Structure 1
Amino acid sequence: MARKKTITRDQILNAAYEVVAKEGFSRFTARNIAAKMKCSTQPIYLEFKNMDELKKVLVKEIITKLSTKMLSKEVTGNKLVDLGINYIEFAIEEKQLYKALYLEGETEIADLEEYSYDYFYHTVIQGTEYEELSKDKLLSLYTGFWIVVSGVAALTSSNIITPTREEIIELLEDSFDMIKTNNRPLDLSFKTLHL
Structure 2
Amino acid sequence: MARKTQISKEVILEAALKMLIRDGYAAINIKTLSKEIGCSTQPLVWHFENMDGLRKALASYALKYANEKMRSRTQNGVEAFAGIGMAYINLAFDEPNLFKYLYMSGECGLQTGRFDVLVNADENAAIVEQVADYLKISKENVCYFFQNTMIYTHGLASFIASGIITSSKEEVAAMVKQTASAFLSQAKR
Partners of 2:63 and 2:102 within 8 A in 1: no
Change (3 A) 1:123 1:92: farther
Q: Compared with structure 1, are the counterparts of its residues 26 and 128 closer, same or farther at alpha carbon in structure 2 (3 Å cutoff)?
A: same
Counterpart code for 1:156:
I
The Cα shift of 1:42 comes to 1.4
Q: What is the Cα deviation at residue 17 of structure 1?
A: 0.9
TM-score by length of 2: 0.76
Compare 100-109 and 139-148 and name the one that shifted more.
139-148
Alpha-carbon contact 1:24-1:100 (below 8 Å) kept: yes
Aligned twin of 1:160: 165
Instruction: Indicate if the aligned counterparts of 1:13 and 1:58 stay in contact, CA closer than 8 A.
Output: yes
Is 1:127 the counterpart of 2:127 in the alignment? Answer: no
Query: Do 1:21 and 1:94's aligned partners in 2 also have CA atoms closer than 8 Å?
Result: yes
Query: What is the match of residue 59 of structure 2?
Result: 59
Counterparts in 2 of 1:138 and 1:101: CA distance versus 1, 3 Å: same
Q: CA RMSD in A?
A: 3.1
Of the structure 1 ranges 18-27 and 117-126, higher mean CA displacement relative to structure 2 is found in 117-126
Moved over 4 A (4+): 111-117
CA contact (8 A) 1:83 1:124 kept: no
- Whether contact under 8 Å (1:81, 1:172) holds in the other structure is no
For each residue in 1:28-62, what CA deviation from the matched residue of structure 2 results, as whole angstroms up to 9, or x when unmatched?
A: 31111111112222111211243223222222222
Residue of structure 1 in register with 2:148 after alignment: 144
Kept in 1: contact 2:9–2:47 (CA 8 A): yes
Gaps of 5+ in 1: 184-195
The 1:21–1:164 alpha-carbon spacing in structure 2 relative to 1, beyond 3 Å, is closer
Structure 2 residues without counterparts, runs of 5 or longer: none
Gap change, CA 1:87 and 1:130, over 3 Å in 2: farther
- Number of aligned pairs? 180
Alpha-carbon shift at residue 120 of structure 1 (Å): 6.1
CA contact (8 A) 2:59 2:110 kept: no
Does structure 2 conserve the Cα–Cα contact (< 8 Å) formed by 1:73 and 1:86? no
Quote how far apart the aligned CAs of 1:82 are: 1.2
